[in-house]
Amino acid sequence: MSANRSLVLRSFVVTLVAIACWMALSSVEMANATTAATNPKPADGLAAWDSVYSVLTYPRCINCHTATNYPQQGDDRHRHFANVIRGPEGKGVAGLNCISCHQEKNSDATGVPGAHGWHLAPLSMRWQDLNDRILSSAEVCRALIDRAKNHGLDEPGILKHHQEEPLVVWAWNPGLRPDGSARSMPPLTHDQFVGATRRWVAAGTPCPRSRSSP
Amino acid sequence: MTTYQLSVNGERREVDVDSSTPLLWVLREELKITGTKYGCGISACGACTVHLDGVATRSCVVPVSLIGNRPIVTIEGIGKDPVGRAVQDAWVEKDVVQCGYCQSGQIMTAVALLKDKPRPTDANIEESMGGNLCRCGTYVRIREAIKSASAQLN
């Protein structure tokens, strides 16, 4: 009888210890998970940046982030027709403004894309060089977070820009070409793009290291 | 079909057209205001240029549904404007026109330029007028006329 009671007591103690260990381990795992969510690893941020970069350098975006005195158009990023030039504020020049053709909305009947405030990105936000080569991931990243170049946007400002700026959002509603076919869209959905930007910002906007020049 | 109320050269006009109809065809076909010309239909030549709320605009690519309340001024109405009058006088003075087909668009763009830059440089003229093509090659006289209008206005 006494031996049985001792066995039951021992089993009870062992069970209690097991439950205590399990709870302790679980709390450590939860704490780690919470820490990972609030302090993402730089590697996660860099992976998110890769996604952001894939969108920024897509023709719908980079065609207006030129290093030249003119915008580009088309998936082959050719020079904009009609002798359109940048102008002092990136909005063309008097008599030949961006809004001489680009209205508040796409015009699918005539194939002219449109959104509020159509204009070129400033030269400080150029994502290609004068030889039409797309800048490296590191170069674009550094420019994007440089407040001297990005019109003073802080990290939440960059996220908001990607979420709400009409010309950014337009990239996912680019309308029809003059021949009636649909313009291509960036490799991610807008939600995915914003999500990647959010993860990159949460990780502290890490930028990849520059590769040495070839 | 949709009914649109437009302000054309200071007058209220009503048209009943498909929402995708370009302004050019509303002017020419519906309102019979034919001074604005059809050149290329893709905004590449500038012959169809009108002013939309003061902005030189290619009417061949702007659907009537996107005009809203913005006033439209065409070559028929630009002479009421002092800058427009000066440009038209200079065009006559310099005998700019050859065949004339592109000239209403040239004048509308030149007026927009002079309103923004009353004393344009040669570079300003070339940049602003660079989207207006003239098959007769009257570019030299166009530049002279713009300078003449500028001198007259200043």
pLDDT at residue A8 greater than cutoff 80: no
Task: Name which of A73, A83, A176 to mutate to probe chain B: the one with the most chain B Cβ atoms within 10 A of its Cβ.
Answer: A83
Cα separations in angstroms, A55 against A50, A93, A137, A142, B138 = 9, 29, 11, 16, 45
Any CB–CB contact under 8 A between B61 and chain A? yes
A12-24 average pLDDT score = 54
How many CB atoms sit inside 10 A of residue B115's CB? 18
Say what the pLDDT of residue A30 is: 45
Any CB–CB contact under 8 A between A94 and chain B? yes
A7-18 average pLDDT score = 58
Q: What SS3 class is residue B153?
A: helix
DSSP codes of every residue in A51-100: HHHHHHTSHHHHTTS-SSSS-EETTTTEEPSTT----TTSSEETTEEGGG
B62/A103 CB distance under 8 A: yes
On average, the pLDDT of chain B sits at 98
List the single residue in B61, B110, B115 with the smallest CB-CB distance to A112.
Answer: B61
B100-106 average pLDDT score = 97
Say what the pLDDT of residue A29 is: 47
Say what the pLDDT of residue A12 is: 58
B52-68 average pLDDT score = 98
pLDDT at residue B85 greater than cutoff 80: yes
Q: How far is A97 from chain B (nearest CA, A)?
A: 8
Read off the pTM: 0.87
A28-42 average pLDDT score = 54
Token pair belonging to A118: 């159509």
- Quick one: A101 exposed, middle or buried, by C-beta within 10 A (0-12, 13-18, 19+)? buried
A109/B131 CB distance under 8 A: no
A146 pLDDT tier (thresholds 50, 70, 90): very high
A8-36 average pLDDT score = 51
Q: How many helices (H) and strands (E) does chain B have?
A: 5, 5
A90-118 average pLDDT score = 97
Q: How far is B46 from chain A (nearest CA, A)?
A: 9
Cα distance from N-terminal residue to C-terminal residue, chain A: 84
Task: Name which of A86, A96, A176 to mutate to probe chain B: the one with the most chain B Cβ atoms within 10 A of its Cβ.
Answer: A96
pLDDT at residue A16 greater than cutoff 60: no
Say what the pLDDT of residue A136 is: 97
- pLDDT digit string, tens, across residues A120-133: 999 999 999 999 99
Summarize chain A as % helix, strand, coil (round to 5): 45, 5, 45
Q: What is the dihedral of CA B122, B125, B131, B135, to 10 degrees?
A: -70
- CA-wise closest residue to A94 among B101, B144, B118: B118
Residue B22: closest CA among chain A residues belongs to which residue? A110
Chain A residues touching B112 at Cβ < 8 A: 94-95
Q: Does domain B78-153 bear CATH number 1.10.150.120?
A: yes
pLDDT at residue B23 greater than cutoff 50: yes
pLDDT at residue A31 greater than cutoff 50: no
Element containing residue B12 per DSSP (H, E): strand B11-17
Say what the pLDDT of residue A213 is: 40
Any CB–CB contact under 8 A between B1 and chain A? no
Please answer whether residues B9 and B81 qualify as being in contact, where contact means their C-beta atoms are separated by less than 8 angstroms: no
A41 pLDDT tier (thresholds 50, 70, 90): confident
Show me where the domains of chain B are located.
2-73, 78-153
pLDDT at residue A111 greater than cutoff 90: yes
On average, the pLDDT of chain A sits at 87
A95/B112 CB distance under 8 A: yes
B79-98 average pLDDT score = 98
pLDDT at residue A1 greater than cutoff 90: no
Q: How far is A180 from chain B (nearest CA, A)?
A: 13
Q: How far is B140 from chain A (nearest CA, A)?
A: 18
Say what the pLDDT of residue A5 is: 61
Q: What SS3 class is residue A128?
A: strand
Classify domain B2-73 by CATH number. 3.10.20.30
A42 pLDDT tier (thresholds 50, 70, 90): confident
CA distance A36 to A25: 16
